[in-house]
Chain A
Amino acid sequence: MNPAPSIVLFTTASGAGYGMLFWLGLLRPLGLVPQGVAFGLIALGLAVFLITIGLLSSMAHLGHPERAWRALSQWRSSWLSREGVAAVATFLPILLLGLGLILGWGALTHLFGLLAAAGAVATVYCTGMIYASLKPIRQWRHPLVVPGYLMLSSFSGATILAMTAAYWGQAWAPALLAALGAAGAFWVKQSYWRDIDGPAPADAPTIESATGLGAIGRTRPLEPPHTETNYLLREMGFRIARKHAQRLRRVALLGGFAVPLALAVLALLAGGTLWPVLLLSLATSCALLGLLAERWLMFAEATHTVTLYYTGR
């Protein structure tokens, strides 16, 4: 599948923003992040910035961005529509949380924070389901795709929240969550990659079932239907060389997860304000770059059944 930059950026940025929103909404009532108005507004602002950048980027992928509002209508059948509804609905508790922080609503802000956290989980879950519900793409219709989206979002969000809290010298809770999230993300992605590298399941479509010619025998393409490329080949036929995939996997696993894990642990051990700020800023940069590589691979390694018609594989 073609890794469109707009979608790679969307799921990375919005994922991090929703993860941050989730942990902010959950940790603030527990007193595990700085309780001041300034921290609340800055953290919320950063999360909303990441979410909005991502959503705007996803609009760039549309042929008709001005019609995007129509995508809120088919939530009964479409995960993409559900994602849109969840994203828009989550802006309501976000707005109330921001207002509550400014106007000093006290315990009521905790309620809005928790509602925003629930909205964040729902939105990222819908994002994962968009991919996991597509039957023609074996690598996406995999039980680890939705947990992967949730885990990566929670990991990157916790890292950015820890970086922000470090300026107040109270980063231990989000930094600990970032470290745990990095370990979880490492495990999920490694299991996922091990699984998709294995042989295709026995009931996976083949060129024989795609053409119905299996009764005659082994089938292979002889002449292509057109001499030049087309939309199908550019969009669905995109495939990355295995050598490059292995290299990018290492970038994601080491740079994106292992290095931030080590940096978060160091930030936990280091005292004061300066070192945690520096270490967690570096962890955030590594995590976001690693996630961009991971998300790019998520597309580049996915294969669509239409390629059976063209290449026989």
Chain B
Amino acid sequence: MTCLPEIRPGQKKLGLVIDLDTCVGCHACATNCKEWNASGHSGPLPDFKPFSAGAEGVWFNRVHSYEAGEGGEGRTVHFPRSCLHCETPDCVTVCPTGASYKRAEDGIVLVNHDTCIGCGLCAWACPYGAREMDEDEGVMKKCTLCVDRIYNETIPEAQRQPACVLTCPTRARHFGDLGDPDSAVSRLVAERGGTGLMPELGYGPVNRYLPPRRTTSVDPGPQEDAPTPLDVKNPLLRWMDKVLSR
């Protein structure tokens, strides 16, 4: 059903918190996402011409890099982009078949690949580019927040997290319930001033991005060593300095 579930206070809102301060842009999250999702709920994920020029395929996570700010304040920021599991996602409501849906119990936005007709309207309706068409299978695919991992009782409890979160070597990605103000991810967002993307469009994205930490003042950089005569302790060198300075 493509009507959205009613929003109740205190509702579970599973999502990701991505720390743009510590992300090093290594693409491990994107790679592990592809690895996990090539099988399971969304599998197979197609790759066209994988071993020649023009290689492309469906990925749920894309890591961009940006320059932000000017001069000493300027930063290079690596920016992983994936589904934000919005509270009011138009990608769900525009779906004519009911294949796109938002789960009432945890807020995850999913596609039923057995009823999707592959019209592509949901990809047009997503401002974030989170949905990519599987042109092999003729259906739309997207991030599932690893719904086949996080509730999977056949794997150790510590690993019941999205593949992108588990693999991040700098722990820049965090997973949790953003609907609970006392959860670890919510506290992290509050502490670091996490933001949502394109809030002006009103989709209510759940995922949060932690901004890069600001340097307190502009670092003057390394200084040249310029000793004064008083700094020279060796009497012979002091005498030479005196003679040569004459």
The number of chain A residues touching the other chain, given as a range, is 35 or more
Residues in B with CB closer than 8 Å to A38 are none
Shortest distance in angstroms between B52's beta carbon and chain A's nearest beta carbon?
Answer: 10
Question: Which residue of A135, A209, A225 is within 8 Å of B197 (Cβ)?
Answer: A209
Complex formed: what's the CA distance from A210 to B127 in Å?
9
Q: Which A residues, 214 to 237, have Cβ-Cβ distances below 8 Å to chain B?
A: 215-226, 228-232, 235-236
Q: Are A225's CB and B56's CB within 8 A?
A: no
B190 at the interface (CB under 8 A from A): no
Question: Which residue of A134, A203, A220 is within 8 Å of B124 (Cβ)?
Answer: A134
Question: Which residue of B2, B118, B202 is within 8 Å of A77 (Cβ)?
Answer: B2
Q: Are A74's CB and B97's CB within 8 A?
A: yes
Complex formed: what's the CA distance from A218 to B81 in Å?
19
Question: Which residue of B117, B134, B138, B201 is within 8 Å of A70 (Cβ)?
Answer: B117
A80 at the interface (CB under 8 A from B): yes
Q: Which A residues, 178 to 236, have Cβ-Cβ distances below 8 Å to chain B?
A: 203-205, 207, 209-213, 215-226, 228-232, 235-236
Q: Are A236's CB and B123's CB within 8 A?
A: yes
Question: Which residue of A80, A203, A218 is within 8 Å of B94 (Cβ)?
Answer: A80
Q: Interface code A126-141, partner B: CB below 8 Å = 1, 0 otherwise?
A: 0000100111110000
Q: Which A residues, 37 to 79, have Cβ-Cβ distances below 8 Å to chain B?
A: 61-65, 67-68, 70-74, 76-79
Q: Contacting chain A: which of B64-72, B181-189, B224-232, B237-245?
A: B64-72
B159 at the interface (CB under 8 A from A): no
A77 with B116, Cβ < 8 A, contacts A218-B70, A236-B123 known? no
Complex formed: what's the CA distance from A188 to B118 in Å?
32
Residues in B with CB closer than 8 Å to A61 are 119-120
The number of chain B residues touching the other chain, given as a range, is 35 or more
B7 at the interface (CB under 8 A from A): no
Q: Which residue of B lies closest to A304 (CB)?
A: B124
A84 at the interface (CB under 8 A from B): yes
Complex formed: what's the CA distance from A70 to B115 in Å?
7
Q: Are A67's CB and B93's CB within 8 A?
A: no
Shortest distance in angstroms between A62's beta carbon and chain B's nearest beta carbon?
Answer: 5
B157 at the interface (CB under 8 A from A): no
Q: Are B98's CB and A73's CB within 8 A?
A: yes
A305 at the interface (CB under 8 A from B): yes
A1 with B96, Cβ < 8 A, contacts A209-B199, A232-B132 known? no
B170 at the interface (CB under 8 A from A): no
Most buried by A among B25, B69, B117, B118: B117
Q: Are A63's CB and B66's CB within 8 A?
A: no
Q: Are A231's CB and B64's CB within 8 A?
A: no
A153 at the interface (CB under 8 A from B): no
Additional pairs, 18, CB under 8 Å, beyond known A217-B74, A228-B56 = A63-B135, A71-B117, A73-B98, A77-B95, A78-B94, A205-B198, A207-B66, A211-B197, A212-B196, A213-B212, A216-B69, A217-B69, A225-B81, A229-B56, A231-B132, A236-B129, A305-B127, A310-B64
Pull 30 A–B residue pairs with CB atoms less than 8 Å apart, ordered by A. A62-B119, A63-B137, A67-B116, A67-B117, A71-B97, A71-B119, A74-B1, A76-B2, A77-B92, A77-B95, A78-B2, A80-B119, A84-B96, A130-B94, A133-B90, A134-B124, A136-B124, A210-B198, A212-B211, A219-B77, A222-B66, A223-B25, A223-B65, A228-B55, A229-B54, A231-B135, A232-B123, A235-B133, A304-B127, A310-B64
Where the two chains meet, the residues of A that have a C-beta atom closer than 8 Å to any C-beta of B are 1, 61-65, 67-68, 70-74, 76-81, 84, 130, 133-137, 203-205, 207, 209-213, 215-226, 228-232, 235-236, 304-306, 309-310
